[in-house]
Structure 1
Amino acid sequence: MSSMNLQVNPAEEAIGDKMLSIRFLVTGDSSNGSVAAFELKVAGGSRLLAPAHSHDHYEETIYGVDGVLTWTVDGKALDVGAGEALCIPRGAVHRFDNKGVNDATVLCIVTPAAIGPDYFREIFAIFHAAAGGPPDKASMMEIMRRHGLTPAAPTPA
């Protein structure tokens, strides 16, 4: 018999702001490290401020719930709408943007659960410290690397 504490939606905390928010539904702590799942809400017309990145230790599957997010994976733009899914393999450089006017919501499933709420709390602390100005890029890169994300090299303009 498992001594695991079973619960529905263990994290009710919304991490982020009105442009982008994350709410963890399943964390590695509640899944023996096998899976993490979080709801990602992105306001209409929002571009991801963090750099494109890859992760070498987990796959990330995106399931569209509402609206459309454009995911750019290894240079290819893919729209993920409600009822559609996209699996981003380990090592693939990716980012997302909401190019539409409507808000978008996706479910992100990370296998195994190599990332959790702490990453997003730390990243948003950097954005809030910037008070609307550009975030401290060096601090953001350090947080990303410490949590297993590899920032992509900037692409020449």
Structure 2
Amino acid sequence: MQHTEIIRLGAGLEIHILLDTLDTNRQFTLFKVIVEPAAKVPAAHYHDQFDETIYGLKGLLTLTIDGKTIELAPGECCFVPKGAVHRFENKTAESVELLAYAQSGVFGATYFRELAEVINVGGPPDAGKLKAIMLSYGLVPVSG
């Protein structure tokens, strides 16, 4: 049984690493995300090297995938193919929990730890550093 590592990104976003890239021979990453109401979430982005599947566990998550808005409820899932511009947010007053499966295992706990070092310093994070971290793991931020 794997030990779950919890990585906090700011005040409202928590990543629970369930299976890291090192646990799966870099085949996939499996992690739970807790999104508090009005949490700061990642900028709209796409993945240039991997697909992602998101499964709702608790609450209602609002996803935008290639301009289409999807409300993801518990028990529902959606597939985010490589190259699809997407973002998510919690528009409700309750916390949201989701399970994310990213294949192949290009990014994992190390990615989230690096983000946490920049985000959790207090004050506005360095956007240039965040973008560089994202790009180094195959996540490409999209402005607008």
Determine if the TM-score, normalized by the shorter chain, exceeds 0.5: yes
Query: Is the Cα–Cα contact under 8 Å of residues 12 and 38 in structure 2 kept in the other structure?
Result: no
Q: Structure 1 vs Structure 2: percent identity of aligned residues?
A: 35
Partner of 2:67: 75
Is residue 142 from structure 1 mapped to residue 132 from structure 2 by the alignment? Answer: yes
What letter corresponds to residue 79 of structure 1 in structure 2?
E
Is residue 128 from structure 1 mapped to residue 126 from structure 2 by the alignment? Answer: no
Is residue 119 from structure 1 mapped to residue 111 from structure 2 by the alignment? Answer: yes
What letter corresponds to residue 149 of structure 1 in structure 2?
L
What letter corresponds to residue 141 of structure 2 in structure 1?
P
SS of the residue 2:106 aligns to: coil
Distance 2:112 2:21 in 1: 15
Is residue 55 from structure 1 mapped to residue 47 from structure 2 by the alignment? Answer: yes
Is residue 96 from structure 1 mapped to residue 85 from structure 2 by the alignment? Answer: no
Deviation at 1:125, TM superposition (A): 1.1
Specify the structure having the higher radius of gyration (Cα). Answer: 1
Partner of 1:24: 17
Normalising by the residue count of structure 2, what TM-score does the alignment of the two structures yield? 0.93
Deviation at 1:36, TM superposition (A): 1.0
Distance 2:55 2:84 in 1: 17
SS of the residue 2:61 aligns to: strand
- Comparing both structures, which one devotes a greater share of its residues to strand? 2
Aligned CA-pair RMSD: 1.2
Distance 1:11 1:151 in 2: 31
Unaligned runs of 5+ in 1: 1-7
